[in-house]
Structure 1
Amino acid sequence: MPELTAVAEGLSFPEGPIALDDGSVLVVEIRRGTLSRVTPDGAVSVLAGCGGGPNGAAIGPDGAVYVCNNGGFAWHDREGLVLPGRQPDDYSGGRIQRVTFDGTVTDLYTEVDGHPLRGPNDIVFDADGGFYFTDLGKTRERDMDLGGLYYALPDGSRVEEIVHPLQQPNGVGLSPDGDRLYVAETGPGRVWCWDVTGPGRLRGRGSGARGAQLLHGFAGAQMLDSLAVDSAGNVCVATLNTGAITVLSPDGEIVDVVGVPVPDPLVTNICFGGPELRTAHITSSGRGVLYRTEWPRPGLAPRFTA
């Protein structure tokens, strides 16, 4: 079992980690509405104020950070945990944002074909420079949104719906050669996969979520959050309630389960960096902690770096 070390504590629901070449890590702080930088010694500084609820993030081909902003949550503090809730009274709407390292924030997309984005969640770039992102939607007292999967270009010229509906689509990732796309659904606890036939083009191989193949369905009350793919093609998906990163093989078998040292049902994301991409950074969001550990397998290099 890898030994995890707390790099930073007291973060305001960290998510969307990005390992930078200098050893620091970018994280969003969803509750605070910021994109923040954590240095290797644990110092935290705000790179940009995004407002709403910045969530998944990735570096684009231009070196800027692209952020899925879910518009915010109603927040609850309970027994030492921070818990996200329903759509808040001050909900600002979902959007995709472009953030530069001087702190400039630009709203890139707010709707697709006239349909407003509701709760964009996670993002991954392909080798062509476009990006896939999920929209989990928002939950209200008596109803909730259907979610979807989208593809867009970073210059603001194209965004399109690829799969709709999905049930709370969250984590999204690509296989090492880019020919397979993965999406995790939060509430149902399912990871789906599609064959990629071109930029923003998918071919289903099953009869599930709009032609996807079910990679793995989790038993019991296990919900899913974001994911990352390692160099062997394993899908490392954050498993809620369990409070761990579950590693799935490309065939859908459970390879490993890595929990955090202080129990937290809201372990939400993982990224890879460091020498040979063997350093994993894991967000324990409910307790506001960013962990670091040496991973058993090398991670997958991001398509683009800052």
Structure 2
Amino acid sequence: MNKNFKNALAFSILLLTSVTLFAQIEDKKGITAKGAEVVKVKDGFSFTEGPAINRQGDVFFTDQPNDKIYKWNANSNEIVLFREGAGRSNGLYFQLDGKMIAAADLNNELWEIDQYSGEETVLVTSFRGKKLNGPNDVWVRPKGGIYFTDPLYPRAYWEGIRSKEMEQDGKHVYFLSADRTELFRVAEDLTQPNGLVGTPDGKTLYVADIGAKKTWKYDVQEDGYLTNKTLFCEMGSDGMTIDERGNVYLTGNGVTVFDKKGEQIAHIPVPEKWTANVCFGALDRKTLFITASGAVYTVKMKTRGVW
């Protein structure tokens, strides 16, 4: 074996090893199923976002640049178009009554969508007489009431509709009461609030400040206000979810998982430039459904998601 061939072979082995290592799931606590792999379900989208699970385990998600909402059938693994003209919806979340809440930022609104008819009801159009900046992500607490983030991501489709300047006096987190009579701010000191998710008991809310590269933890009060702001981890996120053990899943460079103490316990690499959001799907809530740029993926899990 000549020297040049030997060097080339060594380089090829090193490259192959690097690729393999990049593709491996890092799991310190056994949260993924044995032999779990990241599986592409479908590609061909522009930018997928906002996965949300219904009672049947199906996952609805958005392709925001194309103004569409799709539905992934947990039983057949098929994806079908649910609705066109979706208000440029971004984040989605299901209420207990089966209706879907959508952060519809075409006109900076918050929508409620019937998952069977596809008809929408506009819940929020403004705050203190001005439009919102552009609702991004939502979480519905078990007792009712909706938390949503309102950062600013200027959209190309805002041309001719409105200014790309910030409408509100900052980028905040809001709460809409269950009876829809009260809308108020609950966090006003964040740089760029984005993903958020709460615990199944409704007592704790996690909010990612992607601009500051931090995720915060709050106590949720009965009236909807947030108290006891505490640093959860030194990482921001686009979207978020949580499992039955209290582990929090953040996105961006694949999916990074932190335990309830804020310590990193897993990383799931995704072969896309950006991983936007994540939720648990299927009837047993043991399939991690990932929206990442132009495609969506699944990973079989040992832990179960909460709904």
> Normalising to structure 2: TM-score of the pair?
0.78
Counterpart mapping for 1:189-208 below 5 A? 189-204=213-228
Inter-CA distance 199–271: structure 2 relative to 1 (3 Å threshold)? farther
SS of the aligned residue for 2:276 comes to strand
Structure 1 position 186 matched with structure 2 position 210: yes
Deviation of 1:214 (Å): 0.9
Structure 2: stretches of 5+ with no match in the other structure: 1-24, 26-35, 156-162
Query: In structure 1, what residue type is equivalent to 2:83?
Result: L
Inter-CA distance 45–272: structure 2 relative to 1 (3 Å threshold)? same
Measured against aligned partners, the alpha-carbon deviations of 1:218-254 in whole angstroms (never above 9, x if no partner) come to 3xxxx5201011111111011x2xx211111111110
Partner of 2:261: 251
Q: 2:110 aligns with which of 74, 96, 100?
A: 96
Q: 1:11 aligns with which of 28, 45, 50?
A: 45
Inter-CA distance 154–96: structure 2 relative to 1 (3 Å threshold)? farther
Conserved 8 A contact 2:54-2:94: no
Q: 1:280 aligns with which of 288, 292, 299?
A: 288
Inter-CA distance 276–187: structure 2 relative to 1 (3 Å threshold)? same
Using the alignment, how far apart are the partners of 1:142 and 1:119 within structure 2? 10
Q: 2:298 aligns with which of 292, 296, 301?
A: 292
Q: 2:58 aligns with which of 17, 24, 27?
A: 24
Inter-CA distance 68–35: structure 2 relative to 1 (3 Å threshold)? same
Inter-CA distance 23–182: structure 2 relative to 1 (3 Å threshold)? closer
Deviation of 1:54 (Å): 0.8
Partner of 1:67: 102
Deviation of 1:64 (Å): 1.3
Measured against aligned partners, the alpha-carbon deviations of 1:49-86 in whole angstroms (never above 9, x if no partner) come to 223x3111111233211101233xxxxxxxxxxxxxxx
Conserved 8 A contact 1:280-1:292: yes
Conserved 8 A contact 2:142-2:200: no
Conserved 8 A contact 2:57-2:284: no
RMSD of the TM alignment (CA)?
Answer: 2.2
Conserved 8 A contact 2:72-2:78: yes
Inter-CA distance 294–179: structure 2 relative to 1 (3 Å threshold)? same
Inter-CA distance 46–275: structure 2 relative to 1 (3 Å threshold)? closer
Structure 1 position 147 matched with structure 2 position 171: yes
SS of the aligned residue for 1:171 comes to strand
Deviation of 1:174 (Å): 0.8
Partner of 2:12: none
Q: 1:172 aligns with which of 196, 210, 222?
A: 196
Q: Identify the structure with the greater helix proportion.
A: 2
Using the alignment, how far apart are the partners of 1:13 and 1:185 within structure 2? 21
Conserved 8 A contact 1:48-1:104: no
Using the alignment, how far apart are the partners of 1:37 and 1:99 within structure 2? 13
Using the alignment, how far apart are the partners of 1:275 and 1:105 within structure 2? 26
Deviation of 1:155 (Å): 5.1
Structure 1 position 228 matched with structure 2 position 241: yes
Using the alignment, how far apart are the partners of 1:256 and 1:227 within structure 2? 14
Conserved 8 A contact 2:172-2:187: yes
Deviation of 1:293 (Å): 1.3
Count of residue pairs the alignment pairs up = 261
Using the alignment, how far apart are the partners of 1:99 and 1:117 within structure 2? 19
Partner of 1:86: none
Query: In structure 1, what residue type is equivalent to 2:255?
Result: I
Measured against aligned partners, the alpha-carbon deviations of 1:4-58 in whole angstroms (never above 9, x if no partner) come to 111121123111112334453211111111222133333321335223x311111
Deviation of 1:259 (Å): 1.0
Measured against aligned partners, the alpha-carbon deviations of 1:266-301 in whole angstroms (never above 9, x if no partner) come to 10111112243211101112xx1111111232112x
Structure 1: stretches of 5+ with no match in the other structure: 72-92, 205-211
**Larger Cα-atom Rg:** 2
Query: In structure 2, what residue type is equivalent to 1:119?
Result: G
SS of the aligned residue for 1:31 comes to helix
Using the alignment, how far apart are the partners of 2:71 and 2:284 within structure 1? 22
Deviation of 1:154 (Å): 5.3
Using the alignment, how far apart are the partners of 1:114 and 1:5 within structure 2? 46
